[in-house]
Structure 1
Amino acid sequence: MRAFVLTGPGEFEVRDVPVPVAVPGEVVVDVERVGVCGTDVEFFTGEMAYLHEGHSSYPLRPGHEWAGRVSALGDGVDPAWLGRRVMGDTMIGDGSCRRCRRGHRHVCERRQEVGIRDGRPGALAERLAVPASSLHALPDAVDPVLGALVEPGGNALRAARAAAAGPGDRALVLGPGTIGLLVAMFLRAAGAEVHLMGVTPDSLAFARSLGFAHTWTEHDLPDLPFDAVVDASNARHLPALALDVVEPAGRLVYIGLAGAPSSVDTRTLALKDVTAVGVLSASPGLAATIDAYATGAVDPRPLVAATVGLDQVGAVLAGRRPAGAGPGPKVHVDPRPA
């Protein structure tokens, strides 16, 4: 089968690789859609921290935002999975450590990460093998486009829930990229007044096209009481700004990752009586995200600017927009043969 493989920083090829076999406890999925993520870009540039920490190495097959249909079952897997449309959890814990036993498999020290850590190839291929325990069934209302948006949506839903903003609350989201816009959508669905702060006019205009009227840059951000602030950016100075602008007794949520360490003055955190929460992984939010998409409470389809084939993935990772792409921040891949 064909697969997209990163062979080094800035180096890649679409190559023929062996078709995966469903070993005991696992399934093989025919992949229908894959989202290109900022993590994939960091692997392309060589900046991803896991490469330097020994968790990941080249050659590497990325792709952890995916949807598809189960086509083969390993021994011990419930036959009901065969033929079902699914997406899967990126984080796969060992199932036996203290964290896994306490329901925190996404922070298992020995976890596998689909398309990210060594030993678990990603979904930028025609087929993908994953544990059956990682699967989430997709209802008919959640098509492949929505299915491949469940993983980023789960991260965003967790951030929005951590912000705990609802009717009567004002929330500020820093960074109108895919995650920031998804967070804004979930906050809006919860009834909060949502503001977004970004950098480029195009990204802010796109946010307004989604119905978010309150969009700002750092230079014109109004002096308003923000009951919750979510940092979904990659700017190292914004975690401190988030603390500066959040209301006393408010909530901070950090889901964005900068390329260098950020500083937050914990004296201010304490004196303002602020609750700060970090979010890693969509795992605990996947089921609720599927429900939100299925009911229409959140519709992230406009975020997808284009869908390309495997042969175009390298150009996308290098920062080139596909011809005819819309204004959204997300590019999807359909790895199936044309």
Structure 2
Amino acid sequence: MMLTAITTAKRRIDYRQVPTPPPAAGRALIRVQHVALCGTDAHIWDDDYPADLPVIQGHEFVGLIEQIEPGLVDARDGVPLVPGLPVAVSPMVYCNTCPPCLAGRFNICESISCLGCYEDGALAEILSAPVSKLHPLPLGLPRYLGALGEPGSIAMQAVNRGRPQAGETALVLGCGPIGLLATLFLTERGVRVIASDLSESRMALAEECGAVATFAPGTGGQLGDLWGAATGPTLIIEATGVPASFETAVSVAAPTARLVQVGISGRQALLSLRDLPFKELDILGSRNSLNLIPEALEVLARHQDVAARLVTHRFPFDSLSAAFETMLDSGQSVGKIVIDLPATAVTGLAAAHQETPLGQESSNVS
């Protein structure tokens, strides 16, 4: 038997003992250690998301391989998958048969699903996952930071969609976790990043991620000074989902700029049909990722101090309701929240990925 946290109704989580998943061919049993929460999780907990309750949430996670068929090797990087190895797990489930999948765009599969959203996920002691979804952590990366691999992959997908060029100026609108990670990834590629957000503390984090300048929305009169001799940013990542932010992006974009919309909203934006053709803008959507967790983990491993700053809160497994209430508290400055499950012992191969003690990983952890 294993302990699970099941979201059974609006803002209600029940802890239950359920049977441990059995071993299965082509799958591994993962002892979950850390689960990061995102806005989608908060919406599911608040019963404000198209997910059917009850469900075990958790789609950004890392754990140790508990049981696996002997002799299997991760086809991506040749690392043997053996018990005790720390791995991040891709939560996406796709069909491989629909037109987008056959075109290599499985991130927008017509029947896409996601562990922790539409089917049971990682807020459980043990999870069964296909071996193809396992991604070994880079050596030395603290395991709780491995839970950022999945949101990192979302940010990297948006960056890749924008076709960044070293030396150009990019504008990142929104300094939540996705915008901050996009800022870090763009900076690594030699892009000059300017970031915008309503929160001073988030903009300060953007500067730690490499942004050369920041500004608050509504300071449009100062924008021209930020571009220098350029006529505007040539790449924009819109990570808020706020219609006015998208409208701003179209307005300030340089001719021929690429605008990547990764923030999601059901609301409508008002645009002039003059700007798009006159500037010949490329408007690009970005959803999920094309198996980019390994690449995201490598960048996080090179910038562990910055990655740790993105984790503002950590909670034990038995305090999930408090974690969600913190996420929805507008009076708090919240980045990523990480849930620590009971499996925290460091043994065997996991010792190479030594865990930082709870509450000591960064100076701003609550």
User: TM-score scaled by structure 1?
Assistant: 0.87
- Confirm or deny that 1:313 pairs with 2:320: yes
- Distance (Å, rounded) in 1 between the aligned partners of 2:106 and 2:46: 29
**Counterpart in the other structure of 1:191:** 190
2:239 maps to which of 215, 223, 232: 232
1:58 maps to which of 41, 50, 53: 53
- Distance (Å, rounded) in 2 between the aligned partners of 1:297 and 1:336: 24
Cα 1:75/1:112, change in 2 over 3 Å: farther
Cα 1:73/1:177, change in 2 over 3 Å: same
Q: CA deviation at 1:327?
A: 5.8
**Counterpart in the other structure of 1:27:** 28
1:336 maps to which of 314, 334, 342: 342
Q: CA deviation at 1:76?
A: 10
Deviates more, 1:175-184 or 1:199-208: 199-208
**Counterpart in the other structure of 2:288:** 281
Residue 262 of structure 1 aligns to a residue in which SS? coil
* Root mean square deviation, CA, Å: 2.6
Q: CA deviation at 1:296?
A: 4.2
Q: CA deviation at 1:167?
A: 3.3
Cα 1:123/1:262, change in 2 over 3 Å: farther
- Distance (Å, rounded) in 2 between the aligned partners of 1:299 and 1:173: 17
Structure 1: runs of 5+ lacking an equivalent: none
Deviates more, 1:187-196 or 1:6-15: 6-15
**Counterpart in the other structure of 1:241:** 248
**What residue identity is the alignment partner of 2:56?**
R
Q: CA deviation at 1:202?
A: 3.0
**Counterpart in the other structure of 2:202:** 203
- Distance (Å, rounded) in 1 between the aligned partners of 2:41 and 2:198: 22
Residue 117 of structure 1 aligns to a residue in which SS? coil
Contact map agreement 1:153 1:282 (CA 8 A) in 2: no
- Distance (Å, rounded) in 2 between the aligned partners of 1:297 and 1:203: 18
Q: CA deviation at 1:254?
A: 0.5
- Distance (Å, rounded) in 2 between the aligned partners of 1:317 and 1:132: 30
How many pairs does the alignment contain?
Answer: 327
**What residue identity is the alignment partner of 2:55?**
L
**What residue identity is the alignment partner of 2:242?**
A
Structure 2: runs of 5+ lacking an equivalent: 75-79, 345-366
- Distance (Å, rounded) in 1 between the aligned partners of 2:202 and 2:35: 22
Cα 1:68/1:4, change in 2 over 3 Å: same
- Distance (Å, rounded) in 2 between the aligned partners of 1:295 and 1:191: 15
**What residue identity is the alignment partner of 1:135?**
L
Quick one: percent identity of the two aligned structures? 27
Q: CA deviation at 1:63?
A: 0.8
- Distance (Å, rounded) in 1 between the aligned partners of 2:273 and 2:43: 30
User: TM-score scaled by structure 2?
Assistant: 0.81
Q: CA deviation at 1:264?
A: 4.1
Contact map agreement 1:14 1:310 (CA 8 A) in 2: no
Cα 1:236/1:14, change in 2 over 3 Å: farther
**Counterpart in the other structure of 1:138:** 137
- Distance (Å, rounded) in 1 between the aligned partners of 2:112 and 2:208: 39
